[in-house]
Chains A and B, each alone.
Chain A
Amino acid sequence: MVTVGLTHFLIISTLLFSMGIYAIITRKNAVMVLMGVELVLNSANINFIAFSRFGNFGFNGQLIALFVIVLAAAEAAIALAIVLNIYKNLSTVNVDEVDNLKE
């Protein structure tokens, strides 16, 4: 049994990223697409912190992970406000039905 190293963490973040992309592509509901985006951001954070620990980068990776978390919070707030407005105007949040710009 190999001991846990950098590759194990990278594998976990790769699989998490793939599942996030899968959610973004396949789900119709806009809130589910947002959950996929959160999964992708989490996998990026795992990568930042793993390289910060196993590489020669000091604590900069952890700090950038903190910045990513803050930006994710801002993004979630804005995106949910937009989704609420779409629901108010079009009575649906399915991303394939919101195609008013396509004439």
Chain B
Amino acid sequence: MNIYDLIFYLFGALTLISAFFVVTNKNIVHSAFYLLFTFFGVAGIYVLLGADFVAIVQLIVYVGGILILLLFGVMLTNKITNVEIKTGTINIFSATIGVGLFSGALLAAVIYAPWKVTTVQEPVPTTGILGSLLMNEYVLVFELLGIILLIALIGAASIARR
């Protein structure tokens, strides 16, 4: 077992265990903080897959942006008297059975599928490659995403303060 496998299992366990706590914890604030560890674990998995730039973007956008936004959402939509902000649950029984069956089927499909894997080359720094792809082949998508982000943020601000 080499060091790569060890780090993979470490990040995989971090991701899955903290995600499990996110979906089972009754306290929303605790769930939000466990989500932090999930995002960190996913960023580590990106690094193991040779996607260094995406990992950094994941840290900046998810941990620095979306998680803070979710925490603001939790704080602003509850009457804060203490830190015990609970969430109710519905459909526990049927959801457990359904999701269990679904994930079992999906796992079987993933494990037994004959994936065609090419030889994996050494990971290279991806920032320059992604930048030139973004400015050549994907420039239309890039511009559209900019416009979508602008419209979404203006719309969010206008909806929230109405």
Residues of A within 8 A of B (CB): 1, 3-12, 14-23, 25-32, 34-36, 38-39, 42, 45-46, 49-50, 52-56, 59-60, 62-63, 65-67, 69-78, 80-85, 87, 93-94, 96
Contact = CB atoms under 8 A, between A and B. Distances in A.
A100 B87 CA distance: 21
A66 B57 contact: yes
A46 B46 CA distance: 7
Contacts of A80: 69-70, 72-73, 156, 160
Interface string B56-97: 011001100110011011101100000000011111100110
Interface SS of B by simple majority: helix
Contacts of A5: 117
Contacts of B48: 4
Contacts, number: 222
Q: Is the interface of A mostly helix, strand, loop or mixed?
A: helix
B23 to A, nearest CB: 4
A67 B54 CA distance: 10
Nearest to A32: B87
A29 B145 CA distance: 29
Contacts of B152: 74-75, 77-78
Contact of B45 (A3, A38, A46, A52): A46
B16 A25 contact: no
Given A35-B32, A76-B69, A28 B106 contact: no
A70 B95 CA distance: 30
A84 B77 contact: yes
B117 to A, nearest CB: 5
Contacts of B157: 81
Given A9-B45, A71-B148, A26 B92 contact: yes
